[in-house]
Amino acid sequence: MITTNTLFKTLGINNKNLLSVVNATGISKETLKYYNDSKKIPIGRDLEKICDFFQISPNYLKLRLGFLDNSILDVLSSETECLKKLFPYQPFVLNKGCPTPSFQTKLGKLYKQDCISFLKTIEDNSFDVIFADPPFNLNKLYPSKMNDSLKEEEYIAWQEEWVYECIRVLKPGGSFFIWNLPRWNTYLTPLLNSHLTFKHWISVDVKYSLPIPGRLYPSHYSLLYYIKGAKANTFHPDRLPMEICPNCQTDLRDYGGYKDKMNPLGVNLSDVWYDIPPVRHSKYKKRKGANELSLKLLDRIIEMSSNEGDIIFDPFGGSGTTYIVAELKNRSWVGTEIGPLEDIINRFSVLDEEKEYLQNIRAKLNCLFTEKDLKTRAKLGLWTPESVRKKKELANSLFDN
Ligand SMILES: C[S@@+](CC[C@H](N)C(=O)[O-])C[C@H]1O[C@@H](n2cnc3c(N)ncnc32)[C@H](O)[C@@H]1O
């Protein structure tokens, strides 16, 4: 939720009378301008002073600014009869006629279409998993030439629209993932929390900009993870290999006496992912320009939240990473993309390359050490689950004797 009206417009403040508001309230011009320009709601004494001057209540001001908190909602929900005429009954209409896909595979259908108009043709409860990586409103030039520099409130309103539709078409027990900058994902949580069950806010460690003066170094993307209903139909996260030095294979952490307690199938997946590579090198990029996600990220998400035969929807095709991974993992998939589809279609013609890459990724999962690392560690005399087990057996037998 974001406030939509500016303070000055709401209260009729303009260049001519601004100074009198400053004098009467004692709030500096800079502070008033900050509230106005950044669309922040005044709080504490500032709120009181503004309300005293304009002779209005704080809740009325908040409402006029387009902000709803619980105290306002309480009042509104006790006055629903008065509000009824503002919200007349309108029958629900699902757009008729399923569009024709522009590209089809054994398992998937891709539509060259705006995702919201497409979603409006889809029945409730249709998809097992939805993954969405929307444009970030960073003024990037996409092949579709779409406007990636909307006003903040326009971008948030647009996001709420497609998110709402995605929630509707997600099956009960299905999983919904949204990939975005942390800042934008914070705005979506009230809507998501109203309809779905929060599962995780996953931080994916990727350095995506240079350090910015006056700010912490932005180093993670937010991956929101919600479930429709109380419990996920499917949840089988991969286990990861133990982190070791890539050069000398030694432990990066001291596991001390706990080595024998470590699961030989690997370490539990946490909600901070450090091992997702950005797809930066042009050699590996499937389309010119940024915004292609790593196959490894989609492999992890799809593996965790779906089974073979499930149906996955991604509203923002881009270069088709979700569709490629779904196809390789025997999931059905549906996608929309407003821009050119060539990059996605071409990718399906070299599916074997992608398959090999994915197989290499998966070969390193669900084990404490890879086969290769096990051999090297044994050669270097470093501990392995086998050596820890033998040592324990020896100690037990000495103790028994
Ligand atoms: C960030 S990219 C997605 C990248 C993708 N996840 C990948 O790994 O290749 C966002 C894509 O959404 C597309 N797009 C933007 N608005 C759209 C809309 N309303 N409907 C469908 N696609 C849209 C853009 O053209 C762009 O290709």
Say how many Å lie between the CA of residue 328 and the centre of ligand 1: 21
Say how many Å lie between the CA of residue 264 and the centre of ligand 1: 39
State the pLDDT at residue 344. 96
State the pLDDT at residue 56. 97
User: What's the fold here for domain 103-240+275-363?
Assistant: Rossmann fold (3.40.50)
Ligand 1 touching residue 58 (CB < 6 A): no
State the pLDDT at residue 261. 83
Return the structure tokens found at 171: 């099956």
CATH 1.10.260 residue ranges for the chain: 7-86
Say how many Å lie between the CA of residue 364 and the centre of ligand 1: 30
Ligand 1 touching residue 384 (CB < 6 A): no
User: Of all atoms in ligand 1, which is nearest to the CA of residue 142?
Assistant: 25
From 297, 296, 288, select the one nearest 319 (Cα to Cα).
288
Q: How confident is the model at residue 3 (pLDDT cuts 50, 70, 90)?
A: low
Say how many Å lie between the CA of residue 93 and the centre of ligand 1: 26
Percent over 70 (pLDDT), the chain: 95
Q: Is 20 left (phi over 0), alpha (psi -120 to 50) or beta?
A: alpha
> Which range among 26-30, 52-56, 264-268 shows the weakest confidence by mean pLDDT?
264-268
**38: Cβ–Cβ under 8 A, 6 or more apart, which residues?**
none
State the pLDDT at residue 274. 94
Say how many Å lie between the CA of residue 142 and the centre of ligand 1: 8
Q: How confident is the model at residue 285 (pLDDT cuts 50, 70, 90)?
A: low
Q: How confident is the model at residue 17 (pLDDT cuts 50, 70, 90)?
A: very high
Tell whether the model's pLDDT for residue 321 goes beyond 90: yes
User: What's the fold here for domain 7-86?
Assistant: 434 Repressor (Amino-terminal Domain) (1.10.260)
CATH 3.40.50.150 residue ranges for the chain: 103-240+275-363
Q: How confident is the model at residue 282 (pLDDT cuts 50, 70, 90)?
A: low
Alpha carbon distance 135, 315 (integer Å): 11
Tell whether the model's pLDDT for residue 287 goes beyond 60: no
State the pLDDT at residue 209. 73
Alpha carbon distance 11, 61 (integer Å): 9
Tell whether the model's pLDDT for residue 114 goes beyond 70: yes
Q: 240 and 266 in contact (C-beta within 8 Å)? A: yes
Alpha carbon distance 1, 36 (integer Å): 17
* Average of per-residue pLDDT across 7-21: 96
Ligand 1 touching residue 321 (CB < 6 A): yes
Say how many Å lie between the CA of residue 180 and the centre of ligand 1: 12
Ligand 1 touching residue 115 (CB < 6 A): yes
Q: Which of 146-155, 310-319, 351-360, 379-388 has the highest mean pLDDT?
A: 310-319
How does pLDDT run across 371-398, given as a tens digit for each residue? 888 889 989 998 888 888 888 888 888 8
**Residue linked to tokens 């088709």:** 320
State the pLDDT at residue 258. 79
State the pLDDT at residue 299. 98
Ligand 1 touching residue 177 (CB < 6 A): no
**Residue linked to tokens 């005044």:** 42
The string of DSSP codes covering 146-196 is ------HHHHHHHHHHHHHHHHHHEEEEEEEEEEE-HHHHHHHHHHHHHHS
Say how many Å lie between the CA of residue 112 and the centre of ligand 1: 11
Classify residue 366 by burial, with Cβ atoms within 10 Å: 0-12, 13-18, 19+: middle
Q: 11 and 54 in contact (C-beta within 8 Å)? A: yes
Alpha helices per DSSP H over 196-314 = 295-305
Alpha helices per DSSP H over 196-320 = 295-305
Tell whether the model's pLDDT for residue 2 goes beyond 70: no
Ligand 1 touching residue 315 (CB < 6 A): yes
From 144, 151, 188, select the one nearest 166 (Cα to Cα).
188
Alpha carbon distance 60, 41 (integer Å): 12
Q: What is the mean pLDDT of the chain?
A: 91
Strand order in the sheet with 311-314: 103-104, 108-111, 332-336, 311-314, 127-132, 170-180, 220-227, 197-205, 272-273
How does pLDDT run across 88-105, given as a tens digit for each residue? 888 777 666 778 999 999
Ligand 1 touching residue 336 (CB < 6 A): yes
State the pLDDT at residue 90. 82
Ligand 1 touching residue 144 (CB < 6 A): yes
